[in-house]
Amino acid sequence: MNAIPAIRWQKLKKQSSSFFVTGFAVLLLAAFLMPFLYMLFTSVKTFTQMTAANSPIWPAANPTYVYQGQNKATYTFTVNKAGFPVQQVVNMNDFIGKTLQIYSVPLADGSHKNLALLLGYNKSSIFLDPQHPAAAPIVWTGFFKALPRPWTLSPTWSNFLAVWNDINYPRVLGNTFFYAITTTIGVLISCTVVAFGFSRFRFPGRDLLFVVMIATLFLPATVTIIPTFTFFVKIHWVGTWLPLIVPTFFANPYDTFLLRQYFMTLPRELDEAAMMDGASPLRILWSVILPQSWPVIVAVTVFHVVYAWNDYFGPLIYLSTNMNSQPVSVALARFNGIYGQQPQLIQAGALMTLIIPLILFFLAQRFFVQGIVITGVEK
């Protein structure tokens, strides 16, 4: 009898659950990503807005009005400049082509109107109504500087230009690309070779070495940095790219593990057939394994490019003496030291730093996610 209402009730319940769960996730995500919005808004604000009290959170500017000369008459007003009334002559021709500041002026009827300031004094001011430029000016009693100013949406792009020039962005970007590309080549060559060794040969000691390699993931970098850095100082590599690039050609445990896990899933029949045909192991790696492995190769490439792009500590210690070679992370930190009091420049710089890894991530997110899942779940 009540079968249909029951189904409807079920459906309604399901819809409302998905409404509440998704709504909750949206709220959570909004809080989580709020700093992004802060960055986007702040990076297109002006310094004036940053320092103005009661300015809105979105990028805005105080509107102005350029008088076109719709009214060429001359008026004489009695105004209170500094405590006593005086005569003031206003010739509208004087204001043609002038940029006038807009204030929110309280009128006699209690409403507020945005008026353009013609002449302002301590005790009263003369305004023009921009909506009726041909009408006579309006005298208002009070101190104009105490009036609120309206804000209108107005993003400014000059912060990006300032950062671009100040940190020499093209060079910094070139350095970062150079670092990312050379080290990614190092990682791809060395890690595929080592992963092939771990996944396709059986010999005594292999599993011990694998365990040692995984254990190094948990070794604090601090325990190796002092002799390593000192050694690089002694051979005059500090201030060059070499300490950052050369070690990447000796396989890191993270990417090797990822590649090895993938290679393990590939069927051995193909490499055995190639071996029968007399192919060398290196040939098998190149012609049999790698063509089947492009998803994991893409994942490792993206991981490493992002890692190199974001790396801060390595370039900080090895390139702090060489400003011309610094990548974007170090240059941005230096920029912050100079312009720390100008958040709009800092946020513009941050946006210019994160935009490329962000684009790369969105393009390759499928491989990214797979790679992380392989390393995290299978250990």
Residues 265-284 that bind other proteins (CB under 8 A): 281
Interface residue with other proteins, options 218, 236, 269, 278 (CB under 8 A): 218
Q: Which of 9, 12, 24, 148 binds other proteins (CB under 8 A)?
A: 24
User: Is 236 near other proteins (CB under 8 A)?
Assistant: no
Q: Is 8 in the site for other proteins (CB under 8 A)?
A: no
The angle formed by the CA atoms of residues 357, 361 and 365, to the nearest 5 degrees, is 170
Closest to other proteins by CB, 155 vs 357, is: 357
CA distance 208 to 205: 5
Q: Give the count of beta carbons closer than 10 Å to the beta carbon of residue 148.
A: 11
Cα of first residue to Cα of last residue in the chain, in angstroms, is 55
Eight-state DSSP code of residue 136: P
Quick check: 146 binds other proteins (CB under 8 A)?
Answer: no
Instruction: Select the span of 58-66, 79-87, 123-131, 211-219 touching other proteins (CB under 8 A).
Output: 211-219
Q: Does 83 bind other proteins (CB under 8 A)?
A: no
The whole-angstrom separation of Cα 21 and Cα 11 is 15
Stretch that binds other proteins, among 18-26, 80-88, 177-185, 290-298 (CB under 8 A): 18-26
Q: Which residue stretch of 119-127, 157-165, 291-299, 306-314 sits at the interface with other proteins (rule: CB under 8 A)? A: 306-314
Binding range to other proteins, per CB under 8 A, among 107-115, 131-139, 208-216, 292-300: 208-216
List 60, 259, 319, 332, residue binding other proteins (CB under 8 A)? 332
How many C-beta atoms surround the C-beta of residue 150 within 10 A?
Answer: 13
Amino acid at the residue 65: Y
Q: In 67-111, which ranges are continuous DSSP H helix?
A: none
Contact status, residue 196 vs residue 286, Cβ threshold 8 Å? no
Residue 126: strand pairing partners: 119, 139
Going by C-alpha positions, the residue among 343, 334, 339 that lies closest to residue 315 is 334
290 near other proteins, rule: CB under 8 A: no
Q: How far is the CB of 294 from other proteins (least distance, A)?
A: 20
Q: Is 47 in the site for other proteins (CB under 8 A)?
A: no
Is 373 a binding residue for other proteins by CB under 8 A? The answer is yes
b/e 91-102 (16+ beta carbons within 10 angstroms → b): ebeebeeeebbb
The answer to whether 56 contacts other proteins (rule: CB under 8 A) is no
Which residue among 6, 7, 29, 96 contacts other proteins (CB under 8 A)?
Answer: 29
